[in-house]
Structure 1
Amino acid sequence: MPDVSAHHFGVTVTDLDRAVEFYREVLGLDVLDRFTVSGEAFSEGVGVEGATGDFAHLDAGSARVELVEYEPEDEGTDPDTEPVNRPGAKHLGLSVENLDRFYEELPTDVETLSEPRTTESGTRILFLRDPEDNLVELIES
């Protein structure tokens, strides 16, 4: 079996510019590339007829965060804002060197689930929501 390694972690958003601004300004991720993909092969690959995706790849160290805004947008669903313990729930995990300093420097309009906490295993964590209500976990490294 071939070796598998992380390339990117994808997050679908409704407003790519707003999401890029958040991930760049609040989380400090650099934009590596922005591009658009469409056509029959893409539509078939993602299983959405007539799909076009506007993408932004951001540098998250050993992997990328891929933000994508699709057209046509799925108008029948709302963003998943369910708790992280719900089966199928998802979150993006990123590490920071000093979680307390990161928390103190967050803009006041960024929603967090709590202040930084230390778990039973000794791991320091902080969950916040991006502008699309996606959960982002910050782990102190």
Structure 2
Amino acid sequence: MFKSIHHSGIVVSDMAKSEKFYCNVLGMQVAERRERIGGAINSVVGYKETHIECVDLYFGEGHLIELIQYHIPEPKDRPTDERSYLGASHIAFLVEDIHSTYQKLIDNGAHSMNPPIEVAPGKSVVTFRILMVTGLSLLNFLDRNEFF
């Protein structure tokens, strides 16, 4: 029986910078840190030899974001930020004020793909291409907890 979504994993190139961004800029908290070398993690990720560092982050309850830095094997950049590629496309965060969030992210070096756009009456969304902490992650920020 399925109950809920537990976490989403994001592969990062620099754990210290990534943790600083997610904690200091987005306001997340560290739930757990761990390092895995070989053994069971090889089977989980499908590599013969693996060394990863993980940090689980949260906003206080619910869904976790798992930052993962691969030391072995060497991480690879994603080839594109084209939105139509199959697979996971983004993670969306609910915010109180889309405009102040937009400015805070810009001030902290994030790259916006668009300014806040009203996609439905009273609901705005902005997409950021987060390059400074990951090879390529698309993060959406919305100001209303409804689908558009």
Number of positions where the alignment pairs a residue of Structure 1 with one of Structure 2: 139
CA drift at 1:105: 2.4
Residues 49 and 73 in structure 2, CA contact (< 8 A), matched pair in contact too = no
TM-score normalised to structure 1 length: 0.86
> Alignment partner of 2:69: what SS?
strand
2:125 partner letter: I
| TM superposition outliers: structure 1 runs of 4+ over 3 Å | 120-123
2:13 partner letter: T
Gaps spanning 5+ residues in structure 1: where?
none
Of stretches 8-17 and 81-90 in structure 1, the one that deviates more from structure 2 is: 81-90
CA drift at 1:90: 2.0
Q: 2:121 matched to 1:118?
A: no
1:30-79 CA-to-partner distances (Å, cap 9, x unmatched) read 1222111223211011101111210011114411000001121345x423
**Percentage of identical aligned residues:** 24
**1:135 equivalent in structure 2:** 138
Provide the alpha-carbon RMSD of the alignment: 1.9
CA drift at 1:122: 5.3
Gaps spanning 5+ residues in structure 2: where?
none
Matches of 2:79 and 2:54 in 1, distance apart?
A: 20
CA drift at 1:112: 0.5
Matches of 2:103 and 2:116 in 1, distance apart?
A: 10
Matches of 1:51 and 1:121 in 2, distance apart?
A: 48
TM-score normalised to structure 2 length: 0.83
1:79-133 CA-to-partner distances (Å, cap 9, x unmatched) read 3432223222521111111111211223152101111111147531111122222
